[in-house]
Amino acid sequence: MSKPPDPKAALDHLRRRYKLTSFNAEFGRLAAKISVRSCQDTAFQSLCEHLRTWFPRTSHHL
């Protein structure tokens, strides 16, 4: 399965299963480790393309 049919319900299930009270912090740690390069969701791909045009990579760092 490329994406759960109800992502919010899937996250709520994991939060309850592992009895996480501060799920936001755990989700942040998880999100930092997961790559979205192979995501097949067309809406997400479209968002990424728009963000790339709005914020192109530059060789200059602030």
pLDDT digits (tens, 9 = 90+) for 11-55: 888 888 988 777 777 778 877 888 888 888 899 999 999 999 999
The angle at the Cα of 21, spanning 5 to 15, to the nearest 5 degrees, equals: 20
Q: What share of the chain is helix, strand, coil (3-state, %, to 5)?
A: 55, 0, 45
Does the global pTM surpass 0.85? no
Give the pair of three-digit tokens for residue 51. 């963000």
For the chain, what is the HEC assignment? CCCCCCHHHHHHHHHHHCCCCCHHHHHHHHHHHCCCCCCCCHHHHHHHHHHHHHCCCCCCCC
